[in-house]
Amino acid sequence: MTKRESIIDKVRKVLTLANRASNEHEAAAAAAVAQRFMAEHDLCIEDIGEVSEEDLKIIKEDVYSSGRLATWRMRLLQHVAACFNCAILINSNPGRRKNSWYGDDSYPGSKTLILVGTSDDISAARAVNDYLSEVVERLAKANAHGNGRSYVNSYKQGMTSRLGQRLKAQSVEIVEEVKEHATSAGTELVVVKNANLKSFMASYGPSKRSYGNRNIDYAGYHAGKRDADHVSLNRQLEEGK
């Protein structure tokens, strides 16, 4: 296993350790440790020569597809992507109607969430997104189900909103801390990766977002945000490294 592969393996192990998080705060703590691994790897790399062109190549990877893509899923992936030097695209397939010009065949429309970034960054972002998605689903089932679909969906959006706030704050703090020990090679690596990502995304033109806060049940939304600040697993997570 290479050094780069071992970093991704550590990210997955941290998330496995924390997979029974009982609230959003614990989930965010797990994500923070994953973010630190990736930031330390990029900014403190000792030899830029160990990074190949393939490591800097920007790729796309489908993450989730559905006929009706939930707003909270789109926003969660967007929050996570930003913390791991990635971006997202949303691919819409309008589907076909029966008796159309194409004949009698038909299929429903769908939307696909796509992560964009280097292979390593996508691997880490996807692992964190999958983990946090499971946390949101599980906590919604435990704390919101039985109050109606609108309440449950709003609860998930509230949880995701709070997660996004924590992820962003943690990301800024972690990068600033790691920069104190960054090497010039590491800084160069991050600059190149960000430039490649920006150039890649520019080829797709302006971002077109198709989600918003429609039909929000504010009781559910704020309940999701309230289930945020209880117990932290920071110490246990650090021990699990």
Local confidence band at 98 (pLDDT 50, 70, 90 cut-offs): low
Flag whether 235 is in a domain. Answer: no
Flag whether 192 is in a domain. Answer: yes
Please check the confidence at residue 4 and state whether its pLDDT lies above 70: no
d(CA 240, CA 9): 13
d(CA 222, CA 39): 32
Flag whether 233 is in a domain. Answer: no
Task: Tell me if 36 sits within 8 A of 178, measured CB to CB.
Answer: yes
Task: Tell me if 156 sits within 8 A of 72, measured CB to CB.
Answer: yes
Domain total in the chain = 1
Flag whether 238 is in a domain. Answer: no
Query: Over the stretch 22-51, which tens digit does the pLDDT of each residue have?
Result: 666 777 777 888 888 888 878 777 665 667
Flag whether 102 is in a domain. Answer: yes
- The DSSP-derived string for 86-99 is -EEEEEEE--B-TT
Average pLDDT score, the chain = 77
Flag whether 10 is in a domain. Answer: yes
Query: Over the stretch 172-231, which tens digit does the pLDDT of each residue have?
Result: 888 888 888 888 878 888 888 999 999 999 988 765 544 455 567 656 766 766 664 442
| Domain span holding position 208 | 3-227
- One-letter amino acid identity for 97? R
Flag whether 134 is in a domain. Answer: yes
**pTM score:** 0.76
* C-alpha dihedral sign at 32, 37, 40, 41: negative
